[in-house]
Amino acid sequence: MPKLLAYIPCENVLIDEFTKNASITAVISEIGIKIPQGFPVPSKGTFIIAMQWNIFSLWEWEEIDSNLEFETKSQLVAQSGEVLFETNITESKKEPHKNFQRNIDRITGFPIWVSGRVELRLMFRVKGSGEFLQRASYPILVIYGNVQ
């Protein structure tokens, strides 16, 4: 089973052409929303801010993983348990002479109809094995503020 080394929401992932190493910039921990005075608080499913961001994960393959294929997806989940969005499934398979697997989900938009703590969850399964299981989580705080 591959070992998860990193699971990070961020604004940018830069890959060095020579070393192929990744640089993560602007790690996301809070999303601040300014609401003009007199405007309603966002309601369910109607407000998504235009925002480009990424979800970066880095895995280390183990020797016993030589024929393993796995699938991952991320979910953004409110405290109520409501899934606010879900990424497409990413398939991964160990390539010969590669020790690491890097996955980057590029996201456009962020749902803001729920304020407070939301959780980004990394879901994992061995390909063809049935249900996804949670492998990691990352908290993000959505904060409403008034514009005076």
Has residue 96 got a pLDDT over 90? no
pLDDT for 68 equals 82
pLDDT in tens, 11-68: 999 999 999 899 999 999 999 888 777 777 777 766 778 899 999 999 999 888 778 8
Query: How far is it, in rounded angstroms, from Cα 132 to Cα 69?
Result: 14
Q: What is the mean pLDDT of residues 117-136?
A: 94
